[in-house]
Structure 1
Amino acid sequence: MNKLGLVFLVISGFLFQDISAQSFVGDQSVTQQVLQELNKERSLLSQNLEYRIKEIDSKISNLDESIKNTNSSAEKVDKLLERVRYLEERQEELDKNTISVYKYNYSSAVLNLASMEREIKPLNLFNASREFYATLDQVSNPMHYNGYKEWFGEFKKFVEEEKKGDARLSAVSHILNVTGDLAKGTPFTGMFAGTLFDGIGSFINSLGWGDKKLKKQSTEMLKLTTTVAQFTHDKDLIETEWESINKNLDELKELQVKAMEENFVRLLDLDLKEFKRNFTNETDAKKRTQYILDISKIAENKIVKEKAKNPENWKQDYHDQMVAVQNLKIRFGTITFRILENLKKYEGLIEKYKDDEYLKPKIAKLKSKLDLVRNSFESTFNPQEYIKASNEMYVVE
């Protein structure tokens, strides 16, 4: 553990200068593949360091034994001096390791920060994929059910004819005029639904024996309207969570932009427009790989220069940025977890209404669309693995 008391967990490391970009082209993301290579090389360096320390410790132990057994003062002095040299050599190895750990950890932080630029983008687009939500809206609007639109025309005609003598029907007429075309998505819930129920009830009560067919149809449509209103209410409880998720995602994006400014612009002296062109918007995996390899080397060199320039306090700035990036990654993973959990709530909604006589056909379609959305999301984001990897971003010093 260093003076700051920060314990870094194992994942990042060092990359050979001559690694070709071609070796990283595959199914996994560019950043994941690069980090795997970083980790492999770091493990090798760690093993070499461990071997070197053991070798030095063995020599020191042998010297200690020799010093204890010798009677010659001159020989003891020589061996003590030799022991000091080994201790200094050992400390040099440990100091080299401290620098290498920061080089590799900061390189990992920069690469993870870079990858977030591409990870957040598809997550923002995720909510814009509307097949599932379009089907959800259809379930929530009775105008999309067979016969409802034609029947609603009869009901609306009744409202307009009778509104002058009935305050409730006058209110129904007013709210229908305010909401406009109901087929375009006015939610059948809340005050609107309550007013509509009253109006439909009045319509049914006004129908005599000669309107048996219309009365029966109207009763069925009232049941449908009531069921849809309750479904919409239950759906809206889930939708409320999306507002919070979107807000948190926007906040995360702001923090990520700030971190990009701090690391890529201030510390690494890189042009963000160039970064977006060469990584965020680059479609060629080979070119993206080579670009982040170059960035990794810039980050490593920056650590070396900072250590030489400010040997006493060179760690603090980089330590702060590494912690900030790790927190961003964990926060991002938490948001993806919340998205997955909220998607699961739709399963409960579907289960509740899957056997309803009015909603059943559309609920079946909704289930298939939800499965597509979940499968697509889970194939792109694994929240638990993402959070786990975020907690294991760095090498222990």
Structure 2
Amino acid sequence: MTRAILLLSFSIAVATTSFAQTDSTVVDKIKLERDSQLKDMNNKLKQNEDEIKSLKAELTGINTNETKKKLSAMENLQVALDSRLAILEKTPKVRVSLNGQLAFTELLSIQRDVQPADLFLTSQQFFSQLGNISNIQQYKDFNDWKSEYDKWYSKKGGGEQMFEFLNSSLSLVSNVANKVPLYGSVVQTVSSGVSSLVMTFGKTDRELKSLTPAMLRILNIASQFEQQKSVIDHEWDAITNELNQLQLENQDLLSQQLAYYGLDTAKYRRDYFLATLDSRREVYKNECRMAIARKIVAMEGDSLTKGKWQGQIETFMYKVQSLRMRFGQLTARMMININRYSELIGDYSDSSKFPPAFTAKVAELNRTLDLVKDKFGKSFNPAKYIEDSAVMYIESNASGDVGI
């Protein structure tokens, strides 16, 4: 059940343009504005470079005794050089300002919970079925044997230390409430103990003896299945721990940025975190990006913060990018782990190798697993997510002269 909860109720959401149309609108606007402005500056820079070359050539061609003409050319060249310097100074500020807005809106998307009810119910059903495979009490071969064994134990087994120990171990593996994994030393004790017990049976124990091989077979197969499943479960535990850490870092970074830009936390919770409509969240994102732009203008105009805000915003930018990349990598690991269940199911679906009652239950997992994989695939695209995260601050229309 913890795997179902992990898949669907953690508070980190998909935040890429390839996942949700409603989340892409403001992001696309920011990228379009950024690319357009940087492309325009890059064009102005190239025009300025041509102008400087022309003025330098003109200056070189002026006779040394043409003082007035030379001074005029030098003044024009200085104006062109000043214009170049202004463009070079403005470009990184525009880039950081708009990428800072982009970082914040992407951070909001990461923070939003994913809560599709149908996906949760689908995965819940799969993991419930999966966990039930190793419930030994659901198999007729075990129940028939246990019924005969209980009769035998009540007559002959009680009081002897060896039988008491075996009976205690049987109780552990057959009682679901005990939550003892169906593998390891306890199962080995039952298997070897029952095998030894059979050797002591006489003619009066013929029924119990005849039922024992089938019981041991279903017990050992279920135990083997549970042991292989536990390896996959262990990876879920590791993913869960990393997701929890990522969520804490995400919340901390969001709190920092809300405070830095002077955005109201209560409004964020009301208009975004608790909002039920994508359109409302989109409006909030747009309000935030405009507020951030105004805040940056104010900081640039303040002598105490002028020139200092860029470094802080760049720090925010790359922290957001790191969170997105790590989340993409974790969803990739989740997808791999889900696919490992397909391999596990395939390994235990051959009724010629395993008890038909067991393989029939394993085969039932295919349908619900297919639903989980389909829903997960529609919600997450790890490869695209990682790729988009890597290039989120790279403008698509400007040349390499202006870079990220």
- TM-score class, shorter-chain normalisation, is 0.7 to 0.9
Quote the residue 1:81 is aligned against. Answer: 75
1:39 offset after TM fit, Å?
1.9
Q: 1:111 aligns with which of 102, 105, 113?
A: 105
Cα separation, 1, equivalents of 2:264 and 2:39: 37
Q: Is the 8 A contact 1:106 1:300 kept in 2?
A: no
Q: 1:211 to 1:141 in 2, by over 3 A?
A: same
Q: Is the 8 A contact 1:160 1:173 kept in 2?
A: no
Given the alignment of the two structures, is residue 273 of structure 1 paired with residue 235 of structure 2, yes or no? no
Cα separation, 2, equivalents of 1:228 and 1:191: 15
Q: 1:352 aligns with which of 334, 347, 353?
A: 347
Quote the residue 2:325 is aligned against. Answer: 330
Quote the residue 2:299 is aligned against. Answer: 306
1:220 offset after TM fit, Å?
0.7
Q: Is the 8 A contact 2:133 2:222 kept in 1?
A: yes
| Number of residue pairs matched by the alignment | 371
Q: 1:220 aligns with which of 195, 214, 219?
A: 214
Q: Is the 8 A contact 2:103 2:317 kept in 1?
A: yes
SS at match of 2:83: helix
Letter in 2 for 1:327: S
Q: Is the 8 A contact 1:336 1:381 kept in 2?
A: yes
Cα separation, 2, equivalents of 1:122 and 1:93: 48
CA RMSD of aligned residues (A): 2.8
Quote the residue 1:69 is aligned against. Answer: 61
Q: 1:363 to 1:176 in 2, by over 3 A?
A: closer
Quote the residue 1:230 is aligned against. Answer: 224
Given the alignment of the two structures, is residue 149 of structure 1 paired with residue 146 of structure 2, yes or no? no
Quote the residue 1:198 is aligned against. Answer: 192
Cα separation, 2, equivalents of 1:301 and 1:161: 86
Q: TM-score, normalised by structure 2?
A: 0.83
Cα separation, 2, equivalents of 1:283 and 1:55: 49
Given the alignment of the two structures, is residue 262 of structure 1 paired with residue 261 of structure 2, yes or no? no
Quote the residue 2:371 is aligned against. Answer: 372
Cα separation, 2, equivalents of 1:109 and 1:370: 35
Q: Is the 8 A contact 1:141 1:183 kept in 2?
A: no
Q: Is the 8 A contact 1:132 1:369 kept in 2?
A: yes
1:29 offset after TM fit, Å?
4.2
Q: Is the 8 A contact 2:133 2:362 kept in 1?
A: yes
**What is the correspondence of 1:41-60 to structure 2 with a 5 Å cutoff?**
41-60=33-52
Residue deviations 1:305-348 (CA, integer Å, cap 9, x gap): 22222234332221222121111111111211221122222222
Q: TM-score, normalised by structure 1?
A: 0.84
Cα separation, 1, equivalents of 2:237 and 2:307: 47
Q: 1:42 to 1:312 in 2, by over 3 A?
A: closer
1:209 offset after TM fit, Å?
4.7
SS at match of 2:112: helix
Q: 1:137 to 1:314 in 2, by over 3 A?
A: closer
Q: 1:200 to 1:327 in 2, by over 3 A?
A: same
Give the fraction of aligned pairs with identical amino acids, expressed as a percent.
25
Residue deviations 1:339-361 (CA, integer Å, cap 9, x gap): 11222222222222121432321
Residue deviations 1:12-64 (CA, integer Å, cap 9, x gap): xxxxxxxxxxxxx9982433332123222322222222222222222222222
Q: Is the 8 A contact 1:143 1:149 kept in 2?
A: yes
Given the alignment of the two structures, is residue 98 of structure 1 paired with residue 86 of structure 2, yes or no? no
Range 129-138 or range 36-45, more displaced? 36-45
Q: 1:26 to 1:323 in 2, by over 3 A?
A: closer
Q: Is the 8 A contact 2:250 2:323 kept in 1?
A: yes
Q: 1:239 to 1:94 in 2, by over 3 A?
A: same
Q: 1:351 to 1:213 in 2, by over 3 A?
A: same
Cα separation, 2, equivalents of 1:70 and 1:366: 87
Quote the residue 2:123 is aligned against. Answer: 129
Letter in 1 for 2:35: S
Cα separation, 1, equivalents of 2:58 and 2:296: 41
Quote the residue 1:289 is aligned against. Answer: 282
Quote the residue 2:391 is aligned against. Answer: 392
Cα separation, 2, equivalents of 1:296 and 1:35: 10
Range 286-295 or range 320-329, more displaced? 320-329
Letter in 2 for 1:137: G
Q: 1:165 to 1:202 in 2, by over 3 A?
A: farther
Given the alignment of the two structures, is residue 240 of structure 1 paired with residue 234 of structure 2, yes or no? yes
Cα separation, 2, equivalents of 1:257 and 1:241: 24
1:78 offset after TM fit, Å?
0.6
SS at match of 2:199: helix
SS at match of 1:133: helix
Given the alignment of the two structures, is residue 250 of structure 1 paired with residue 244 of structure 2, yes or no? yes
Letter in 2 for 1:366: L
